[in-house]
Structure 1
């Protein structure tokens, strides 16, 4: 199914756009689960100024959804109404200054870690274990291996729904576990991180160990969205899922990973509904066996059913 074409009206309202504006784009091609319906309109801004220009001229009644590299995202089968904004090459800047690294929101977390290591900057190696990009790391206070974004962020830039640029300090971010308190309509565009003096060989050894650990314990190189549920206080989500008998559980062509049961996998032909239904069944069984309500870590967006 396709939505009505929004692109002509959007282009008319913002005639000086420099970015790419497309109608009814397959989101399954842009998400690691490889599922989901289309985006009614997909805008890839040329740079920060282009993004601000577009948002300032966008009808307030049109919904905006921001996506990154699609690693922690489930797009429902009915697709996403309104405008989907996906940052591209214009947000791929990367610069080192002393112990600080400035990175555009589109920079992959692994690239951030590698760049820091090459500059003998310690403290950012944990990003080697996070499958996503800087923008998503800011939004969810991404972390792994006993470190989080809040530990290394100095400040970041973002543009709100009205097209206004904001600069946020670490304290402004309102970081908690896997969460940022910045209003959800803000689209992060870049960030400044600071590490500490390190030695390249030692940092690279740390990253190699992270890589080894991930490969042994997580279903990498599969159609998955990363960790599905947040760890509840005083619990590990995977342990609760395992204790509830959900390891290997299947709904349609979606499966709870046998290797790490806080990961859901598209075995090849799963719909978004299969994956979400499987996740909800896991939540139900965990609550039934432990009394703990798991909270989704994967962001789910779009319409649950196709609209005619």
Structure 2
């Protein structure tokens, strides 16, 4: 792909953000693998984002990424424009009246938890243990430790593919487990979240418990994308992976963690192909063992390299 000419002939308004052709996505994803984005755009602010989208022909695909913690990019790269919201323009976290926080979609989950602690707002401790950004948390209804975004959500702002700004309430988000029903083309730019008043000691204790669990039960210092599969009804994904004999299972440098077998790891120079093949093989083995069809929690995007496609397991 050659992203340098992607926007040739398109009447673009003056843009204040950063455009990078052929941007290597292995520098962004926590797996440290994957091909290039044809063109990466990091807008200066919401107006800058809306201006590009309004001018961009609909036939050019647009992909939104966060900090890359729950993301697998395939080796053939990503066609079109990849948009990443930088913390400088989208990372503000401000305290509002009535126990509310106004949060930019580029803010890290961990920073939101820290600001909530300073403000004496409870119920945000779960974000302390999620290595992602708020935009991704909104999209997938991120959760941990018995709490999820839907419980803290008040409203959100988002820009659609045509550059139109939308306001969304809880009904429009249509949240369910690890899923939002908001239209796929919406790019969240900020949100308002709410939590109950609580003591600093209680909040800090909850955050410390989250941190302790992460450090003792999850391979947080590895090149990993976090939880690979969603928890099925009535059981945990890691239990089913373990029952299928896939703890430590390996394809090339891609393996299921010995510490937490629902975490996939790049143990060296794993390709996107290796990681996705490992995941689909685990899905097949789990189904053969328990009849449960695991759903991916990690987002897989981009094109396969020719001749190295990975077919999804279908029973």
TM-score, normalised to structure 2, is 0.95
Aligned to 1:59, what secondary structure does the other structure show? coil
The two structures, once aligned, show a CA RMSD in angstroms of 1.2
| Unmatched tracts of structure 1, length 5 or more | none
The answer to whether the 8 Å contact 1:6/1:41 transfers is: no
Q: Secondary structure at the match of 2:157?
A: strand
Match of 1:80 in 2: 78
Distance in 1 of aligned mates of 2:211 and 2:260: 15
- Offset of residue 222 of structure 1: 1.1
Task: Write out aligned runs for 1:57-206 (5 A).
Answer: 57-88=55-86, 89-98=88-97, 99-206=99-206
In structure 2, distance between residues paired with 1:261 and 1:271: 19
Provide, for residues 60-110 of structure 1, a one-character-per-residue CA deviation record: whole Å limited to 9, x for no partner: 000000000000000000000001000012101110123111110010001
* Residues in 2 aligned to 1:73 and 1:274: alpha-carbon distance in whole angstroms: 14
Query: How far is the alpha carbon of 1:286 from its aligned partner?
Result: 0.1
SS of the equivalent of 2:14 reads coil
Give how far 1:9 is off: 1.8
Moved over 2 A (4+): 2-8
Q: Could you list the per-position Cα deviations for residues 171-229 of structure 1 after superposition, in whole angstroms to 9, with x for gaps in the alignment? A: 21000100000011100000100001111121011101110011111000210001000
Say whether the 8 Å CA contact 2:33–2:272 is kept in structure 1.
yes
User: Aligned to 1:96, what secondary structure does the other structure show?
Assistant: strand
Secondary structure in 1 matching 2:8: helix
Contact 1:55 1:161 (8 Å CA) reproduced: yes
- Please state whether the residue corresponding to 1:198 is helix, strand or coil: coil
Aligned partners of 1:286 and 1:292 also within 8 Å: yes
Shift of 1:293: 0.4
Separation in 2, partners of 1:41, 1:189: 20
Deviation at 1:287, TM superposition (A): 0.2
The aligned residue for residue 27 of structure 1 is 25
Deviation at 1:7, TM superposition (A): 4.8
Compute the displacement of 1:8 (Å).
4.6
Cα distance in 1 between the residues matched to 2:139 and 2:181: 8
**Alignment partner, residue 311 of structure 2:** none
Shift of 1:35: 0.3
Query: Could you tell me how far 1:4 is from its partner in structure 2?
Result: 4.8
State the 1:163 CA deviation: 0.4
Number of residues of Structure 1 aligned to a counterpart in Structure 2? 305
Q: What's the CA shift for 1:13? A: 2.2
Match of 1:301 in 2: 301
Structure 2 distance, partners of 1:265, 1:6, is 35
Q: Bigger shift: 120-129 or 64-73?
A: 120-129
Cα distance in 2 for partners of 1:294, 1:257 equals 17
SS of 1:183's partner is coil
Work out whether residues 241 and 262 of structure 1, in 8 Å CA contact, stay in contact via their aligned partners in 2.
Answer: yes
Match of 2:16 in 1: 18
Contact (CA 8 Å) 1:106, 1:134: kept in 2 or not? Answer: yes
- Partner Cα separation in structure 1 for residue 176 and residue 37 of structure 2: 30
Aligned to 1:3: 2
Cα deviation, 1:249-290, whole Å, max 9, x if unaligned, reads: 000110100000000000020000000000001000000000
C-alpha displacement at 1:306, in angstroms? 5.4
From 31, 45, 52, the counterpart of 1:47:
45
Q: Secondary structure at the match of 1:32?
A: coil
Match of 1:5, SS state, is helix
Contact 1:3 1:81 in 2 (8 A): no
2: CA distance, partners of 1:6 / 1:300: 26
